[in-house]
Amino acid sequence: MSSNKNNTIIHQQIKVVPPSSTQTTTSTIPLTFLDIVWLRFHPNERIYFYALHDSHSHPSFFFQHIVPNLKSSLSLTLQHFLPLAGKIVWPSDSSKPFMQFNPNDNDNGVSLLIAESDADFQHVIGNSPHEASLSRSFIPNLESSHLCASVISIQITLFPSSGFSIGITTHHAVFDGKSLSMFVKAWAYLSKKNIETGESPPLLPELEPLFNRDIIKGTTENNSIEILSKLFPAENGNERSLKIFPSEPKLEESVRATFKLTREDLDKIKQKVLSKWEIMDTNESKPKTLSSFILTCAYSFVCIAKAIHEVEKEKEKFALAFAVDCRARLELPIPDNYFGNCVPGYFIDTNPLDFIKEDGVFLVAKCIFEKIKMIKEKGVLEENMVDVFHKYGSLFKEGFVTFGVAGSNRFGVYENDFGYGRPEKVEIVSIDKGLSIGFGDSKDGNGGVEIGLVLKKHVMDLFSTLFLEGICGNSKLFHQYSKE
């Protein structure tokens, strides 16, 4: 056994493999252009927290019943997701990297840690600001080297007498958010069915992953070395490396918190934005409605920008980039169960000071709306992903604070019941590696959203004030607009 400074004990580390009957031949999956651009970027990290009650929360029940069920159902899930039990490799005789599952490789399998923490479960899952580093005790590392990289690793952590968590770290060149959501839903489905019936039924059709890369026309034909040399010019001569580029979380003096916008809150923000739209001299008519994504991003990022600017006066230039799921938006739409990256990124066309202007929420919402409209009209691959990353680097050098978005309110993360109830909390941990919000659906299922944040403590305090006052109507985030 080993422990870390947060008093989380690792009891066991094993490799979970698919049932032996499914391990017959080597399976190789190419990476598309949309995968390659993420090849060396930091992994996605997400935690699902579950409360346990009565005898189920006792360590003996957890280790004798819950852990074995989660292990066995994970193995059964992997028979449907075989490439995840393999690795990303880049042999010297190949012009590009690929995923490979080799049944004869003893190093195959998904790394699974079984852990125990003495942290206060209610404190960990609370929405109020708490130390940003705490969540990092409940997620595993993802192994990578110059020669190969793991695809997924998992940590199951017991909080005695309270609950447990499932922390999942995934390689971005294999998973986008939609793919991770599909995998977790499949695992939860088989786990719950195993408890209820003692059997492993077939997966629901929508949970059966489609790994066929040929359906995304032209994207498997890419010059991987050229792409990576453009993304990482300082790595000259080492373009074939699969080692994930170092990206340390920003934890010093930082806190993590979760904020909510109810359906009613979103409607308030929408009405205020649309009322401003009516009196602006624009070339286009006011939209009939605005999505929860647009409203949440505009409102949240304006609050963040104003808080950062107030605390650090020299920071006044801001930009926003986000990714778009293009499964249904390609010229030839691909099935919803396609497994891989299908999320090109885009910068919205704001002016540097828009986020801290008095009309900031309206200005940012309008720019997001126009970018999404452009994507629908011109197609999702209009912009080159390499250019998007270059722009990110250029803006950073120019002193911009660049925001991002992780997650979606369409993934239904609170529906993932492994047989022990729905999650008490779902958290995107990896937002602490940049200024991104963790964006998700609300636990109550009533059309609201959750926003996860990691900020410096003084910035978080001011953000919280701005965020809550804006909803209550006691803030300068919105003018009281009129047509007079």
Give yes or no: residues 70 and 128 share one domain: yes
Give yes or no: residues 341 and 425 share one domain: yes
Q: What's the pLDDT score for residue 78?
A: 95
416 is a domain residue: yes
Active-site entry in 80, 171, 172, 309:
172
Backbone phi and psi for residue 194, each to the nearest 5 degrees, phi listed first: -65, -40
Give yes or no: residues 428 and 456 share one domain: yes
Is the pLDDT score of 34 beyond 60? yes
Give yes or no: residues 109 and 141 share one domain: yes
How many angstroms from the chain centroid is the CA of residue 304?
A: 19
Q: What's the pLDDT score for residue 239?
A: 85
Give yes or no: residues 206 and 343 share one domain: no
User: What value does the CA radius of gyration of the chain take, rounded to a whole number of Å?
Assistant: 23
CB 269 within 8 A of CB 289: no
pLDDT tens sequence across 118-142: 999 999 999 999 999 999 999 999 9
Q: What's the pLDDT score for residue 54?
A: 80
Number of domains in the chain: 2
Q: What's the pLDDT score for residue 3?
A: 38
Give yes or no: residues 448 and 308 share one domain: yes
Please report, for the domain that includes residue 393, its CATH number: 3.30.559.10
287 is a domain residue: yes
417 is catalytic: yes
207, 235, 263 - which closes a domain: 235
CB 18 within 8 A of CB 75: yes
Is the pLDDT score of 220 beyond 60? no
Q: What's the pLDDT score for residue 476?
A: 60
> How does 95-134 read in b/e, with b if 16+ C-beta sit within 10 Å?
ebbbbbbbbeeeebbbbbbbbbbebebeebbeeebbebbb
Give yes or no: residues 213 and 289 share one domain: no
404 is a domain residue: yes
240 is a domain residue: no
Q: Residue 373 and residue 288: Cα distance in Å, rounded?
A: 13
93 is catalytic: no
Active-site entry in 130, 417, 458, 461:
417
484 is a domain residue: no
Residues 398-403 have a mean pLDDT of: 95
pLDDT tens sequence across 350-389: 999 999 999 999 999 999 999 999 888 887 665 567 888 8
249 is a domain residue: no
Q: What's the pLDDT score for residue 221?
A: 62
- Domain that residue 265 falls in: 254-472
Give yes or no: residues 208 and 332 share one domain: no
Binned at pLDDT 50, 70 and 90, residue 424 comes out as very high
pLDDT tens sequence across 64-123: 999 999 999 999 999 999 999 999 999 999 999 999 998 888 888 999 999 999 999 999
- Which of 36-50, 282-296, 427-441, 453-467 bottoms out in mean pLDDT, i.e. has the lowest? 282-296
Which sign does the torsion angle of CA 425, 430, 433, 434 carry? negative
Is the pLDDT score of 2 beyond 70? no
Give yes or no: residues 268 and 140 share one domain: no
Give yes or no: residues 229 and 260 share one domain: no
479 is a domain residue: no
403 is a domain residue: yes
Give yes or no: residues 167 and 258 share one domain: no
Give yes or no: residues 304 and 372 share one domain: yes
Residue 3: strand pairing partners: 9
